[in-house]
Amino acid sequence: MHVIKYGFQVSYDPQKKNCAETKKRAVDAMTDLSMLKCFKTYLENAPQLILQIYILMEHERITIFQYASILVSVTSIAWSTVDYQMSLRKSLPGKKGISVGAPMFSYVFYKWFTLTSWIVSIVFLLNCSVNLFTGLVVVLGLSGFFWACKEQTNFCRTQRMEFLYRTVVGIILVFTFFNIKGSRTLVPITIYYVVRTLATSGILALCFYLRPIFINTLVFVILSIAVVVALGLGIISLILYYACFHPSLRLLGQNMEDTVDGPICTIGRPRIEQFIMP
């Protein structure tokens, strides 16, 4: 409602006195809405997708339409992340947005491939052992939560709500990497995907060691190949995005800070320190 309200104010203000300020509020409200949609996607849609793939694998057969449904679901999750990233950058003064074209597609592919690989991997683990699956999710979620505590995020006004926010961040970090406080993340993102690669390799090795029933099916062969290929393509897309297309690269030489998903200048820094960044 606030977005609609600010939109009408910008469009129908005859004197245009507060047009810039109202437009900024509308963009900020859109960013807040986009972030909430992103949260909902990871808290609701991602677990549902895991359950969907698990049930399909239990039947030992997946039709072409079901494969398509899975791809659409992963695309929806990945796009919610991209939409939030684009909205957030638009709302921050001094931040260059992601250009439509190669930069946007490389970022979409990075999220899409890494999400696909990881979601299928943890479904494999769920098929092998519910206890191991639960343990891995809990360990990863707690690691994300404690990292948020270490970074001292300050998104909420009260301590209780901040605790809830950090819990949500921990859950999201189970699925994909986020810069939780707009700071330098070259080291954290490297560690994150090294751990992701090791975990994926460990899950596949565990499947061959435990040899559950589904390992002898065509579905497992197709999905296991997809896991390895998607992870490799996702990491390549990640490197390509940050090496060639990251918006901060266009700001070099302008006395601004070049970081991985981090602050580029001091303008608007309080807002960026409150938000997580994909």
Q: Which of 1-10, 174-183, 207-216 has the lowest mean pLDDT?
A: 1-10
**More reliable by pLDDT, 197 or 267:** 197
pLDDT at 269: 44
Summarize the confidence of residues 108-128 as an average pLDDT: 95
Tokens of 217: 């099916």
- The Cα 241–Cα 238 span in angstroms is 5
Residue 191 has pLDDT above 90, yes or no: yes
Q: Buried b vs exposed e over 107-142: b needs ≥16 C-beta within 10 Å?
A: bbbbbbbbbbbbbbbbbbbbbbeeeebeebbeebbe
| DSSP tag of 183 | S
State yes or no: pLDDT of 18 exceeds 80: no
Instruction: Name the pTM for this structure.
Output: 0.80
Task: Note the pLDDT of residue 82.
Answer: 85
Nearest CA among 134, 165, 126 for reference residue 148: 165
pLDDT digits (tens, 9 = 90+) for 26-61: 777 777 788 888 889 999 999 999 999 998 888 767
Cα four-point dihedral sign 72, 75, 81, 83? negative
- Encoding tokens for residue 144? 């994300």
Task: Provide the pLDDT for residue 116.
Answer: 95
Query: Across all residues in the chain, what is the average pLDDT?
Result: 80
Rounded distance, CA 211 to CA 206, Å? 8
pLDDT at 141: 96
138-158 pLDDT per residue, tens: 999 999 999 999 888 887 888
Q: Which residue has the tokens 């006195």?
A: 17
Q: In which band, very low, low, confident or very high, does the pLDDT at 258 lie, cut at 50, 70 and 90?
A: very low
pLDDT in tens, 59-109: 767 788 888 898 999 999 999 888 888 777 777 666 666 777 788 889 899
Whole-number pLDDT of residue 216: 83
Q: Give the separation between CA 259 and CA 256, rounded to whole angstroms.
A: 10
Structural tokens at position 235: 């990491």
Percent of the chain with pLDDT over 90: 40
Residue 178 has what pLDDT?
84
How many Å apart are CA 167 and CA 162, to the nearest integer? Answer: 8
